[in-house]
Amino acid sequence: MKADFCVVGSGAGGAVVAAELAESGASVVVLEQGPGHDADGFTARPPEMLARLYRDGGQTATLGTPPVLLPLGRGLGGTTLVNSGTCFRTPPYVLARWAREFGLEVDEPALAPFFERVERALSVSEVTPELAGANAAIARRGAERLGWSHGYLRRNARGCVGSGVCVFGCPTSAKQHTGITYIPRARAAGARILTGADVRQVLVAGGRAHGVRARRADGSALEVRAPEVIVACGAIYTPLLLDASRLADASGQRGRNLSLHPATAAFALMDEVVDMSRGVPQSFYVDEFAADGIMLEGVAGPPAYAAMSLPLTGARHARAMADYRHLVQFGLMVSDRSRGRVRSVAGRPLIRYDLVREDLDRFRAGLARLEQLFAAAGAREVYLPLGTGVRPQHASARELRLAAFHPLGTARADARPSHGVTDGDLAMHGVAGVHVADGSVVPSALGVNPQLTIMALATRLAFGLLGRPAPDIPRRSSSQARGSDEEAECLS
């Protein structure tokens, strides 16, 4: 096959850049390792959907202290297929850090047109209190009584009915993941989309890319000839593909600098009926402690999910599940200083990540805040993700039960070839014709969900490859502008 551009991956980065390139008249081939998924087959049963929609059944994990569960989506849409849909713009203070420490020429005004373009494409809007459900209402009650800054999250959803199973495949296709937004756009513009294509190598000759080599699901070989290759396999698999292709890396940073936004969650038992699976699971946030690297965000799910997640055993677990309708849950995410590394062992990723003391202290403080939030909301009992009798202030790293959903940084962007894998335009240092468009280029933890950041950077990359100026920002109504200003003030 021949094309102007070959895009490897169809998640938040790959699908976006593919659609933008194809709609401008370029010939594009998209290669996705996973399958396409039909929403009619989404059953909302967690064990079944974990096996179908997640890589390794959702059991990818890091080695280190403590181990961190790292679920990754697999299929058209990548992890956008199974995330909670939360859409934050990159905080301005993070962009300022990128300019200061990594020499990246990106700031709020420069990225605003790309954020606007993505938000329109994904129908991003704020969750209403009614759709958020009782789980969010209880967290809001606690935050208001404590005087903590809070708000309803913005999400990429259209026609959401609050099925409560975002992370197990939206059964109504309300969540606007890239598999039903950007991929159809790319296909309609002439892009060729191939699933079941496992790319093994980026082909380079004379210091320049000229295509990729892949293996199809039926075992047949596939080669795509293209002068421009965009790698968008995600922060875990992109560095492995670059390594397997033996591409130059003068910085020595490939596969390093892995940040995760490690997270945990607590449950509480309320007197009132909650039915936490009714409504948007991640719909509300508390950013009172964002400056300390602690973000509290909603999380919830159906009984099977709660049974897997409750930090209880035996009779206590059984009693809590018998009261499922009265359970409430809320999450804690840390903007981590810890950094990990990804490397290949026998063709599989080995992910090493150890929590540093500073992040342990954040979890201790964050768990105490979660307990405080539930108490203020009127909880009868609080179930922290710690061993019996362990108080947050005394928790060790080994005692934490952590998961993470935002791997970043393993092909980080830096203007200096000696410090980064890619430059400020997401082009690989030292190899012409290779760009990276996924979370691996994000050079630091964001402190907020990264989906929108990755998509805006991918849009910017596409415009740069096409030599086009930034898109115009459409004029908004006064109510839209007021909502945006209020959100920005809250996040700052």
Please tell me which residue in 406, 419, 429, 435 is annotated as part of the active site: 406
Q: Of 69, 65, 64, 42, which is closest to residue 53 (Cα–Cα)?
A: 42
Is 394 noted as a catalytic residue in this protein? no
Per the listing, tokens 């490897």 go with 8
Both structure tokens of 469: 């100026």
**Amino acid identity at 247:** L
Q: pTM above the 0.85 mark?
A: yes
Please tell me the predicted confidence (pLDDT) of residue 241: 98
Instruction: Tell me the mean pLDDT in the region 256-276.
Output: 98
Neighbours of 59 (CB within 10 A): 12
Here the tokens at position 342 are 């990804």
* Locus of tokens 């320049």: 208
3-state secondary structure of 24: coil
The b/e string for 213-231 (b: 16+ C-beta within 10 A; e otherwise) is ebeeeeeeebebebebbbb
Buried b (16+ CB within 10 A) or exposed e, 360-391: bebbbbbbebbbebbebbebeebbbbbeeeee
The percentage of the chain sitting over the pLDDT mark of 90, rounded to a whole number, equals 95
Of the candidates 58, 90, 212, the one whose C-alpha atom is nearest the C-alpha of residue 492 is 90
Q: What is the pLDDT of residue 472?
A: 86
Q: What are phi and psi of 179, to 5 degrees?
A: -65, -20
The per-residue pLDDT for range 132-162, each reduced to its tens digit, is 999 999 999 999 999 999 999 999 999 999 9
Task: Report whether pLDDT(484) > 60.
Answer: no
Q: Are 283 and 132 in contact (CB under 8 A)?
A: yes
Least confident of 73-82, 279-288, 346-355, 467-476: 467-476
Length of the chain: 492
What pLDDT was estimated at residue 492?
34
SS3 449: coil
CA distance 370 to 384: 9
Percentage with pLDDT > 70 across the chain:
96
What does the pLDDT read at residue 240?
98
Q: Per DSSP, what are the bridge partners of residue 224? A: 212
Rg (CA), the chain: 22
Instruction: Assess whether pLDDT exceeds 70 at residue 487.
Output: no
pLDDT tens profile 82-107: 999 999 999 999 999 999 999 999 99
* pLDDT at residue 453 in the model: 98
325: domain CATH number? 3.50.50.60
Summarised one tens digit per residue, pLDDT across range 369-427 is 999 999 999 999 999 999 888 999 999 999 999 999 999 999 999 999 999 999 999 99
Q: How far apart (Å, rounded) are the C-alpha atoms in residues 224 and 486?
A: 47
Structural domain boundaries enclosing 45: 5-491
Taking Cα atoms as reference points, which of 449, 375, 363 lies closest to residue 408? 449
Please classify residue 262 by burial: count the beta carbons closer than 10 Å to its beta carbon, then call 0-12 exposed, 13-18 middle and 19+ buried: buried
Q: Count H helices, E strands: the chain? A: 12, 20
Q: How high is the pLDDT of residue 491? A: 40
Question: What residues have CB less than 8 Å from 384, skipping those under 6 apart?
Answer: 266, 311, 367, 370, 371, 390, 392
Split into its structural domains, the chain has a count of 1
pLDDT at residue 356 greater than cutoff 60: yes
Sign of CA dihedral 271, 272, 278, 283: negative
Look up residue 456 and give its two tokens: 């805006």
234-259 per-residue burial string, b: 16 or more CB within 10 A, e: under 16: bbbbbbbbbeebebebebebbbbbbb
- Residue 476, pLDDT score: 58
